[in-house]
Amino acid sequence: ICESLLEWWALAESAADCPSPPLRWLKLLDDEMKPTGDEVLVEVTSPVPGHNGYGKLTLFTGTWNLGDKPPDENLSAWLRVPPGCDLVVIGVQECAYEPRPPAHSCAEDFWLCVQRAIGERYFLLEEISMGKIRLAVFMLAEVMLYVSGVESDYAAT
C-alpha cells in the first residue's frame, strides 16, 4: 500500500490571459512532505477562487494489489483521506473477483467500496480499466465546478 499527499498552487492568470494553458511538472510529496521522486504533468488553466486559499488543491493517492480477492467492504482504515482533500486518485492491480450486490462488475464493486470510505462529498470524475488494472479519480463536489474537458487514455506495454 502506498499513500502520498500532493499540494500545488495554481499560478495561472485569468483564463482570458492564458489562451493556451501552461503545462507544469509537479513533484509528488509523501505524507511527511518529502519528495517521492515521482512527478505528474498537470495543465493549469485558472486558480480555484476561494477554495482552500487562492488556488491551492490537495491530492490523495493510493494503490493496492488486491491479489484477485475482494477487499473488505469498509476501506476507511486504508483510505485515510485528509478532511477537505480535493482529489482522490486510487489505482488497483489484480482486481478480478466476483462482485457483491448491487455491483455488476469487479470494478464497480471496488469503486463502490471506495465511495463509501471517502464519503458522499466526492464524485467519480473518471475511471479507466485495462485488464485487471484500474484507476479512478474522485473529486470533491465543491471543486467540480472548475473542471471540464476530462480525458483519459491508456497504452498496453
pLDDT digits (tens, 9 = 90+) for 105-151: 999 999 999 999 999 999 999 999 999 999 999 999 888 877 777 88
Length of the chain: 157
pLDDT tier for residue 89 given thresholds of 50, 70 and 90: very high
Q: For 14-41, what is the mean pLDDT?
A: 58
Supply the pLDDT for residue 18.
Answer: 34
Across all residues in the chain, what is the average pLDDT? Answer: 76
For residue 2, the surrounding DSSP H or E stretch is strand 2-9
pTM above the 0.75 mark?
no
Reported as a single tens digit per residue, the pLDDT across 41-66 is 565 555 555 555 546 678 899 999 99
Distance linking the first and last C-alpha atoms of the chain = 23
Supply the pLDDT for residue 64.
Answer: 94
Q: How many Å apart are CA 134 and CA 83, to the nearest integer?
A: 25
- Ranked by mean pLDDT, the top range of 23-32, 87-96, 139-148 is 87-96
Supply the pLDDT for residue 10.
Answer: 33
CA distances from 75 to 60, 90, 143, 144 (A): 15, 12, 24, 24
Judge whether 144 and 122 are in contact, CB under 8 Å.
no
133 Cβ neighbours under 8 A, 6+ residues apart: 91, 92, 93, 95
DSSP three-state, residue 108: helix
Supply the pLDDT for residue 82.
Answer: 87
Supply the pLDDT for residue 143.
Answer: 84
